[in-house]
Amino acid sequence: MNPPSSAPAAIGHYENFPVASLLCPPRLRPPIAAIYHFARTADDIADEGDAPPAGRLADLAAYRAELAAVAAGGTPGARWAAVFGPLQAQLRAHHLPVLLLDSLLSAFVQDVEKTRDGATYADRAELLDYCRRSANPVGRLLLHLYGVGDEEALAQSDAICTALQLINFWQDLSVDIPRGRHYLTDADCTAHGVDRATLQALRPTPATTALLAGNARWARALMQSGAALVHRLPGRAGWELRLVVQGGLAILDKIDALHGANLCQRPRLGPLDWPRMLARALAM
C-alpha cells in the first residue's frame, strides 16, 4: 500500500508520506511522526508476520476502536500506548481530522480481506475508491498541518497520492501477484484480452505489455494533473514534494523502459537517477 519505495523516502519504511524528512519544519515533525507511527503500526498488523487473516482483522478492529477511544479523550490502552499516547497529544494540538485516520484503517482492512479471498477490483472506479482511503488521507493530513485546505489543493493532493499508490502497484506486480494481490482491474484486463492465469505466469506477452502501458499512462496523467500543488506548499515542503513527484515520474520512466517486463521485474531508481530528478524538480 505504499508509493514507490525508491522515491524520496519518508521517515522509516512506511512510504505513504509525501513530506516527512529533514525538510519538514521542526514544529511539524511531532505530528507527522505520530501519524507515521500510527499508520506504520497498522500496516504491520495488516501485512507483517504470519498471523492468519482472522487474527489480522481482529487486531485491526481493536486498533480502530482504540483510535475512536483516544479521539474521544480516553486514556490510551497499554498494548499500543507508544502509538496512541503521542497521537492523542497531536490530535489535541493540531485538531487532526480523525476520519482521515480511520479511512486509512478501512483500507488496511480491505487489503486483508481482498488478499484472503483472492479478490480482484472490478474497474478503475473501485480501485480509485481504495486509493481514496489508502493514500489520499495522508496528503490531506499533511495539507491540514500546513494550513492549506482549499478544494483545488485537496484535489491536486489526491491526484498525487493516488498516482503514487498506482505507481507502487505497477512497480510491485512481480511481488504482489504471487501473494494474491490483484490491482490490475477486471475491466482493464478484459479490454486487453488478458486473463488472470496469464498474469499469474509472470511472463510478458503483447497483451500484458499493452495492459501495463495503459495503466502506467493513467498514473502519469494523474501525477501531472496534481503537480502544480508544489507551488502551493510553503518553503521546504514544496521542494520535497517536487522530489516526490519527480520520483514517481522517474519510476514510471523505468516502467516504460521495461516495455511490460515490470510484470516479472521490479524497477528501481539508482544513484544516477537522482541528479536527473533534482534537475527536473528545480525546473518545475
**Alpha-carbon separation of residue 243 from 7, 104, 168, 240 (angstroms):** 8, 24, 16, 5
pTM for the model stands at 0.89
With a cut of 70, list the residues of the chain below it in pLDDT.
Answer: 1-23
Q: What is the CATH number of domain 120-284?
A: 1.10.600.10
Question: Which pLDDT score is estimated for 11?
Answer: 31
For 125-159, write each residue's pLDDT tens digit.
999 999 999 999 999 999 999 999 999 999 999 99
Question: Which pLDDT score is estimated for 284?
Answer: 87
Domain coordinates in residue numbering, the chain: 19-119, 120-284
Closest CA to 223 of 138, 278, 162: 162
Question: Which pLDDT score is estimated for 23?
Answer: 62
